[in-house]
Structure 1
């Protein structure tokens, strides 16, 4: 009897979006919703990456400027600008944040076998929030590690300035 090895690849759905001229993606399983850019109230004393806060069905959610973390020039707000409401995990706690993106383009399936680590080049290309590059048919797509979006200063600020319902399991259930 001939034994056949069937190679099975795990695949996930990813949301592809643009920030400036570049395309990025992260797992759709971490996204609670996508919405038109809402009214955002600036927050005095917030880190430069925080645009402000929005009211999401009675919950205060901080909105972050992803372009700062990714080293891409921020675009002006347009009718296509969106906020991707995202769940992050840090030290066993779940947080809900909004991420400003310039354009949501599509949801795509990406197999684990298509994703390779970012090239190191002696540490010159390292960015802790980048998970890797997905090799698609005729292009590469940068994959973001959602849980590494915030650095320690931002985590401290988020923890100190959150409202108790932000981490409530009920809030997460309402957003699903």
Structure 2
């Protein structure tokens, strides 16, 4: 008799500073080379601006700034990960800046530990878990929980303003 095993999930891994992060591949639409963004006035600092993606205006966010790191600087490896974010029964396309994209990996559920509990003051609900590959931890992000509804509304307004 065959035993039911949980399916491995594919993740796109990328770097922010020296840390490796991952997103469920089902949320990723594509990866673009980072060229330039058009800044939209009066948006939060982590909102770097908007880009034209085949005729559609797409807001671009700097995940390093969102996570309290330094601003992402443009290098030969800097890229924009185009993701689909769900909130309040709607979906929205946005670009997330990353220092570099690594690879697509498969992780079985038993290779993923729960997100660390760091106390009540720090919000970690956007961390789906900690993947382990060899001796390296990979922070698996829940893209739908990184941004508040208010921040996503800002991004939508920026898109419409552009």
What per-residue deviation string (whole Å, max 9, x for no partner) do you get for residues 59-88 of structure 1? Answer: 000000001222332342101100000001
Alpha-carbon spacing, 1:132–1:120, altered in 2? closer, same or farther (3 Å): same
Q: Secondary structure at the match of 2:110?
A: helix
SS of 1:42's equivalent?
Answer: coil
Residue in 1 aligned with 2:62? 65
How many residues align? The count is: 160
Residues 1:154 and 2:151 aligned together: yes
TM-score (norm 1): 0.83
Task: Report the aligned-residue RMSD.
Answer: 1.7
CA 1:36/1:121 → structure 2, altered by over 3 Å: closer, same or farther? closer
**TM-score normalized by the length of structure 2:** 0.90
User: Which structure's CA Rg is the greater one?
Assistant: 1
1: CA distance, partners of 2:71 / 2:97: 10
* 1:13 aligned to which of 6, 10, 16: 10
Report matched runs for 1:17-166 at 5 Å. Answer: 17-123=14-120, 126-163=123-160
1:162 and 1:75 map into 2 onto residues whose CA distance is 21
- The answer on whether the counterparts of 1:120 and 1:126 sit within 8 Å (CA) in structure 2 is no
User: For the Cα contact (< 8 Å) 1:118–1:126, is it kept in 2?
Assistant: no
| Unmatched tracts of structure 1, length 5 or more | 164-176
Structure 2 CA distance for partners of 1:7 and 1:57, relative to 1, 3 Å: same
Tell whether the 8 Å contact from 1:118 to 1:125 is kept in structure 2 after alignment: no
Q: Secondary structure at the match of 1:48?
A: coil
**Contact 1:38 1:54 survives alignment (8 Å):** no
